[in-house]
């Protein structure tokens, strides 16, 4: 399997600001790859480095084995779905989708046909004659997707694609994007700050912080075995426990759903507050001077605020972390 995108010690500095700091990246062909992190972590800059809107201050970028730095975006066989969709307001939907083909010099009938096929692929058949300002947010996003895919790029980049959609629509699009990527086999790289999204869609996730990659791995890896406090904190609402609490000399992460109420043994804790989340309830506890959260199914009888309880977990659920940051 070929490497789709390779970053080798890539940095992008803006004066004294290190937006991307000595990053190594290796995205395999046909992968659905997520770049996850808070705002300002460098993930969007990396995306723009792949697209060609930014040039690295240091390091080497390869796309399918070919050198990419110094190459303008219009010569890269890479297409982007922008966060604000960036549909051309002066063109109809079909002309928007066919834009890339038009630039490449394809004949009118041919490109309109292919554009229509792309619209069908994103489930907007027959929308060709409308204008972008007549579409809803979700529809615009599909058009942006079609406009990118119709050019059959080697890599498709998505910049926070689902951010502006409401919850239901977002979940639906997550499904569709995953199915689409599987059937097309194109390498997808998408940027998001929503860890739930990254976990549910991606084959592999890179977690960014402060211009660097903290960890790369499958969603399970990142979630169950975070290697640093930052990753444990950012991905899922983990309990991050200091070395004194674990007695192991290392920080540990403990997922709230791994904590259970027990009737004997275990650790003593006091219930501080309860949050009803629908299917589950989050109990905020205080144990041994440490704050802990646990999740439990809402149906069970729950202890009252202030009650003293006993809690326990499987030893394997207490994941010790190598990095202390």
Partner 1 sequence: MRSDRNARAPLALKIAAAAGLAFLHLPILLIFVYAFTTEDKSYQWPPPGFTIKWLGVTWNRPDVWEALWLSVRVAAIATLIAMVLGTLCAAAVSRWKFFGRETISLLVILPIALPGIITGIALRSAFNLADIPFSFWTIVLGHATFCIVVVYNNAVARFRRTSGSLIEASMDLGADGFQTFRYVILPNIGTALLAGGMLAFALSFDEVIVTTFTAGQQATLPIWMLEELVRPRQRPVTNVVAMVVVLVTFLPILAAYYLTRDGDQIAGHGK
Partner 2 sequence: MSAPQAAILPGRGGAAGTVADVFWRNPKVLLALLLIPPLLWLGIIYLGSLFALLAQSFFSIDEFSGMVKYELTLKTYGELLNPANLDIIARTVLMAAAVTVAAAVVAFPVAYYAARYARGRWKALFYLGIMLPLWSSYLVKVYAWKLILAKEGILNWIFEKLHLTWLLEAYLSAPLIGGNSLSVSYTGTFLVFLYVWLPFMILPVQAALERVPGNLVEASADLGATPAQTFRTVLLPLAMPGVVAGSIFTFSLTLGDYIIPQIVGSSRLFIGQAVYAHQGTAGNIPLAAAFTVVPVVIMGFYLWGAKRLGAFNAL
- Site residues for partner 2, 105-144, by CB under 8 A, read 106, 110
Q: Which of 77, 220, 248, 324 binds partner 2 (CB under 8 A)?
A: 77
> Measured from the CB of residue 147, what is the shortest distance to partner 1 in angstroms?
7
Distance CA 254, CA 248 (A): 14
Which of partner 2, partner 1, none has residue 66 at its interface (CB below 5 to 8 Å by kind)? partner 2
Q: At what angle do helices 137-149 and 167-184 cross, to 10 degrees?
A: 10
By CB under 8 A, residue 73 contacts partner 1: yes
- Site residues for partner 1, 127-166, by CB under 8 A, read 147-148, 151
Stretch that binds partner 1, among 63-71, 100-108, 301-309, 316-324 (CB under 8 A): 100-108
Q: Which of 11, 80, 187, 238 binds partner 1 (CB under 8 A)?
A: 80
Q: Which is nearer to partner 1, 146 or 294 (CB)?
A: 146
Stretch that binds partner 2, among 150-158, 177-185, 208-216, 271-279 (CB under 8 A): 150-158
End-to-end alpha carbon distance in the chain: 34
**Phi/psi of residue 244, nearest 5 degrees:** -60, -40
Q: Which residues contact 315 (CB under 8 A, 6 or more apart)?
A: none
By CB under 8 A, residue 64 contacts partner 2: yes
Is 258 within 8 Å of 314 (Cβ atoms)? Answer: yes
By CB under 8 A, residue 68 contacts partner 2: yes
Q: Which of 12, 43, 76, 142 binds partner 2 (CB under 8 A)?
A: 76
β-strands 3-14, 17-28 pairing: antiparallel
Q: Which is nearer to partner 1, 144 or 202 (CB)?
A: 144
E strand or H helix that includes residue 282 = strand 280-287
Distance CA 202, CA 219 (A): 7
Bridge-partner residues for 61, per DSSP? 7
By CB under 8 A, residue 79 contacts partner 2: no
DSSP 154: S
Which of partner 1, partner 2, none has residue 86 at its interface (CB below 5 to 8 Å by kind)? partner 1
By CB under 8 A, residue 84 contacts partner 1: yes
Sheet (strand 17-28) strand order: 17-28, 3-14, 58-63, 66-67
**How many C-beta atoms surround the C-beta of residue 133 within 10 A?**
8
Query: Which positions lie near partner 2, rule CB under 8 A?
Result: 63-68, 70-72, 75-78, 106, 110, 151-152, 154-155
Query: Which positions lie near partner 1, rule CB under 8 A?
Result: 51-53, 72-74, 78-80, 82-84, 86-90, 99-100, 102-104, 147-148, 151
């Amino acid at each position: 399997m070929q490497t789709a995108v390779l970053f080798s010690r890539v940095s992008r500095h803006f004066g004294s600001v290190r937006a991307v700091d000595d990053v190594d990246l290796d995205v395999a062909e046909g992968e659905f790859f997520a770049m996850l992190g808070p705002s300002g972590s460098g993930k969007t800059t990396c995306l723009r480095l792949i697209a060609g809107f930014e040039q690295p201050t240091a390091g080497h970028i390869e796309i399918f084995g070919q050198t990419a730095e110094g190459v303008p975006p219009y010569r890269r066989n890479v297409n982007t779905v922008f966060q604000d969709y960036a549909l051309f307001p002066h063109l109809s939907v079909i002309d928007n989708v066919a834009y890339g083909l038009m630039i490449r010099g394809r004949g009118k009938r041919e490109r309109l046909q292919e554009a229509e096929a792309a619209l069908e692929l994103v489930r907007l058949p027959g929308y060709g004659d409308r204008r972008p300002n007549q579409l809803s947010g979700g529809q615009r996003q599909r058009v942006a997707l079609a406009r990118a895919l119709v050019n059959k790029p080697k890599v498709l980049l998505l910049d926070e694609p689902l951010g502006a959609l409401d919850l239901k629509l977002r979940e639906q699009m997550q499904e569709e994007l995953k199915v689409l990527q599987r059937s097309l086999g194109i390498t997808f790289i998408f940027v998001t700050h929503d860890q739930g999204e990254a976990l549910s869609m991606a084959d592999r996730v890179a977690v960014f912080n402060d211009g660097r990659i903290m960890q790369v791995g499958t969603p399970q890896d990142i979630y169950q075995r975070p290697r640093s406090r930052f990753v444990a904190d950012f991905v899922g609402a983990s309990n991050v426990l200091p070395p004194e609490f674990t007695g192991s000399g290392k920080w540990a992460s403990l997922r709230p759903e791994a904590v259970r109420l027990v009737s004997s043994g275990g650790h003593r804790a006091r219930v501080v507050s309860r949050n009803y989340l629908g299917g589950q309830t989050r109990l905020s506890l205080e144990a041994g001077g440490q704050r802990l959260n646990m999740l439990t199914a809402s149906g069970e009888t729950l202890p009252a605020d202030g009650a003293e309880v006993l809690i326990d977990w499987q030893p394997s659920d207490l994941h010790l972390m190598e990095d202390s940051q």
